[in-house]
Structures are given as structure tokens and as C-alpha cells.
Amino acid sequence: MSERHDKNAYSWQGGHDDPPNHDFVVDPVKNLGWPAGTWSDSAKFWQRVGEAYYGIHVILGGKEDSFDIGSGAICNCFANFTSRSGGRYHLTLKGGSSDNYLKGWTLLNSGQVVDIEVGNWSSGHYGSNKHNLFEGWTKVGYEPITYCYRFGSKPEFVRMDVKHLWWRSIGLTVFWWAKYLWHVILRRPDE
């Protein structure tokens, strides 16, 4: 199992980078001049604690995610975001990111795999993703918002039409434990 590093359009690490906290448009094609489909995540937040972000709008998501929130993002508020997925998910929440409040997002299309994924593998943090509350999300066309989670990281949903893809949750849980066994138990280096 080899590790690869993501190419992110915007990446904000706690204690190092100051992301915009409101009304920011993420458009890698227009703002950065990148050809469509050449980046992994459009906006990545990691190691952020106790912060609030309002009105960040992704014009086109990356091959993986529009938003990647991971590696110990704790007690943050992400409100009134807009996302157009360009890949697998609108949002991946992983790496021990817990107690976050995600309110009032608008999804402009469906993710290729699932809209919301909670608890995927993160080489930077192995913790569960607990007590994350999603409230008042909508998807254009009024379709249910699809989600999956690693067992032990079940999200909470309020005032949302959601559909749990349980077979994806089983697959995600098996994948996570296989990666954990490989990297932590067997202590195999990245190849």
C-alpha cells in the first residue's frame, strides 16, 4: 500500500495558515489557472480548532473532494458553504476530526461515490470522528444527500433528507482497518 500526497487547490493548516473566514470563492481553474480535474481537493482544512467559517463556495471540486476536513479539526463551525463536486465526494471528514458543526450547506450536484464521507483513513491522525453535527443541508433537485461512515464515526443529521449507503460504510470500515493494520500494527513504511 503506497501513500501519495494530495495536490490541493487551497490548504489551510492550523497554526500556519489563515484561511478566509467568510465569502471566499474557490475556483482553481479561474483563480490558479489549473486545468479542470488536475487537483485532489479544492479546499482542505486540517488541525483547525475552535474556528468558524461562513460562505466558502467551491465552483468545481477536485478529483477527490470539494472539502477535506481532517487531522484533528475539532470544534469548528462550517456554515453556508456551497459545493459543486468534481469527483468522488463533496466532503470528507477524517483523521480524528470531531465535535464540528456543519450547517446550511448547498450541494449543486451529487458526488460520484457519495456526498458525505466520514471517517476515512488519515496518515496524520488515527482517531475516530465523533459528535459531528450536520444541519439543514440541501441538494439541488431535492434529492437525498448520501453518506457513509467508518463504524465508530457515525455523524448526526438534523433537518436533512439523507440516505445511508450502508454497503459503503462496511467497505470504508474494512479499508480503514486494513490501512491501520499495514501502517500501525505491521509498521510498514510508505512505499
State the average pLDDT over residues 84-99: 94
Give the predicted TM-score (pTM) of the model. Answer: 0.92
Helix (H), strand (E), coil (C) string for 127-171: CCCCCCEEECCEECCCCCEEEEECCCCCCEEECCCEEECHHHHHH
Number of neighbours of residue 18 by Cβ within 10 angstroms:
9
Residues 6+ apart with CB under 8 A from 93: 69, 70, 73, 100, 116, 117, 118, 119, 129, 132, 155
pLDDT one-digit tens code per residue, 122-166: 888 888 899 999 999 999 999 999 999 999 999 999 999 999 999
Please list the helix, strand and coil fractions of the chain in percent, rounded to the nearest 5, in that order: 15, 35, 50
Asked if 66 contacts 91 with a C-beta cutoff of 8 angstroms, the reply is yes
- Residue 1 above 50 pLDDT? no
Asked if 118 contacts 148 with a C-beta cutoff of 8 angstroms, the reply is yes
State the average pLDDT over residues 45-58: 91
Number of neighbours of residue 134 by Cβ within 10 angstroms:
25
What is the per-residue pLDDT for 186?
82
